[in-house]
Amino acid sequence: RGPDSSGHWRSVDGQVHLGHRRLAIMDLSAAGHQPMLTADGRYALTYNGEVYNYAALRGELVAAGHIFASHTDTEVLVHGYEEWGLAGLLERVRGMFAFAIYDQAKGTVHFARDPFGIKPLFIHEDEQGLTFASEPKAVEAFLGRSLAINGHMLVEGLHHMLVPSPHTVFSEMAQLEAGRSRTVALDGSADTTGRYWHWSPSADVTDADAARELVWAKLVESVERHLVSDVPVGVFLSAGLDSSLVAAACAELGVKPTCLTLAIDDPQYDESPIAAELCALYGFEHWVKRMGPDECRRWNDQIGGVYDEPYGVSGALNALEVCGVAAERFRVMLSGDGGDEVFGGYGWYADWLKEYGVDGRGRSPWSKVRSAVRGWAGRRALPNDALAGYAQLVSAFTEREVAALFSPGVLGRSSTDSYQSLHTEARARGLTGFDYLQWLDMGQFLPDVCMSKMDRASMHHGLEVRVPMLDLGLVEAAGSIAWATRNPGLELKGLLKQVAREKLPASVVGKRKQGFAIKTSHWLPTETIVAEVLRDMQAGDWWRGVFHPQVDRAVAKLRGRQAWRFRQTWCWVKQHVGEDGARVV
């Protein structure tokens, strides 16, 4: 997925073939090309990502007698596996990654994905063997054919904005989940998958002053790690809390990066004046790019091709635009993504807690009656089940609305199915309040929706985006703080706001939360989408068997961004089934 070089390697027996497209960040010389092998040829690696503590690990390995031919983090992974094994390597690395290591002597291939799913890993298996890549399109290109589509996962994707791992929209392809590794023996004697990391919230820290000091120290430490690069590093500055704190941490370190702000061509969404104030405070160069309806519409029809699956987050439009602009001058940018999951910042947390109580079992009789009345009146209402309520708040769709959009033949999974294992484990751990909700988000929404958004958008432009808010040390530190201290009085990002009041201008701290998104209904109104769906229905039969016979009427009843989200699924199916001829199974 990088523009700088390409390489491939094939084992002598022809059983393993590794390929790579490089985006050169560390050690720009040919010594950093991949696939990378050890000097004796026993271990071969292909890898996507960055290991930010590679210098410290390299020092340990040199002391243990390893000889390096480059100054890349890639080579640290190869030698690290040789010295510590897979488990020992994964305990030590700090960064974002998806990699495959082939141990020729043992005849095994090891796959691993970083704890937060920042980097993706897709795997296809059939009688011919196993094919893996960073994107489904690469697998299809290698196989030379279109993959069959799983109809149930089309529905799942609309519920969750992207098909949740380990599934994909393709019936013959899966994802390695975040924080997992997999080992495959070529002779078929072993195939094991295990989780090597998961978020484990506790209540070790309850003092607010100590919590603020801990969070700020860990954030500065994280940003310092994430600035390590052999090319210039910029900062995406939206003027939101998270990206502003990342910029403030740069200032604390004495670093003055260029900050890029995407200014939405609408005063209601334009954050550039506040971002400019922050840059003036710290003496940063400020680069502003305006985005209007034309850019929105241009990227709108390309989302399906970039993401390879129906993707229902309007922030993808902004991400594709701002990454394209950044790539004109940079190869690496820092982003504030991840702060909402780590510090409890989503509005649906407050809605859910108000409706279901801290333990998820406290819905009042009056609340149930009110919800039932809304349902009888044909209005949207939250279900009595707390997990189903969470799923609805996240997706913005009710089960009834989804059922009216799709053919009965592709229905069959509930919106809560993909959450069940996360929910069961959260209950077993006794998680409540923000801990419970963040556990669900960390397990699914963060890797499958948020990280996918920026990963595909950035790599589409040959740009690396780093997320300091998801440094393992910072995340584990935040998780050690009691949720009542992280979110005092159920305040969204309450602790982080306290940190921000000490580090940022009042205009940033007091700003209404907006997020990196646009109001799609302004530029792509529901009436336009309904007309498009109706034209397509009259022009061909590709949609039959996938969508409901009266899907146009169902779309007309959708509210706000719901219609835009559905359109992403509709257009994706039209291209893959109506134009490319893929099957839905």
Sorted by sequence, the CB contacts under 8 Å of residue 455 that are 6+ apart come out as: 118, 119, 120, 465
Nearest to 235 by CA among 263, 260, 256, 271: 260
Supply the pLDDT for residue 557. Answer: 93
* Distances in whole angstroms, Cα of residue 305 to Cα of each of 89, 165, 260, 383: 35, 19, 26, 35
- Cα(378)–Cα(540) distance, rounded to whole angstroms? 32
Give the residue among 173, 293, 288 at the shortest CA–CA distance from 238: 288
**Number of residues assigned to the chain:** 585
pLDDT of residue 449: 96
The backbone torsions φ and ψ at residue 45, rounded to the nearest 5 degrees and listed phi first, read -135, 140
Alpha helices (runs of H) in 346-443, residue ranges in sequence order: 347-356, 365-376, 386-395, 399-403, 420-428, 433-440
CA distance 58 to 74: 11
pLDDT for residue 293? 82
Phi, psi for 495 (deg, rounded to 5)? -65, -40
The answer to whether residues 500 and 274 touch, using CB atoms and an 8 Å cutoff, is no
| Rounded CA separation 93/80 (Å) | 9
Q: Which DSSP symbol is given to 191?
A: E
Pairing of strands 43-51, 36-37: antiparallel
Encode the chain (585 residues) as per-residue pLDDT tens digits. Answer: 899 999 999 999 999 999 999 999 999 999 999 999 999 999 999 999 999 999 999 999 999 999 999 999 999 999 999 999 999 999 999 999 999 999 999 999 999 999 999 999 999 999 889 999 999 999 999 999 999 999 999 999 999 999 999 999 999 999 999 999 999 999 999 999 999 999 999 999 999 999 999 999 999 999 999 999 999 999 999 888 999 999 999 999 999 999 999 998 777 778 899 999 999 999 999 999 998 888 888 899 899 999 999 999 999 999 999 999 999 999 999 999 999 999 999 999 999 999 999 988 767 676 777 666 666 655 568 888 999 999 999 988 889 999 999 999 999 888 899 999 999 999 999 999 999 999 999 999 999 999 999 999 999 999 999 999 999 999 999 999 999 999 999 999 999 999 999 999 887 887 666 655 566 777 788 899 999 999 999 999 999 999 999 999 999 999 878 999 999 999 999 999 998 889 999
| 3 state SS of 408 | coil
- The closest alpha carbon to 153, from 174, 126, 123, belongs to 174
pLDDT value of position 248:
97
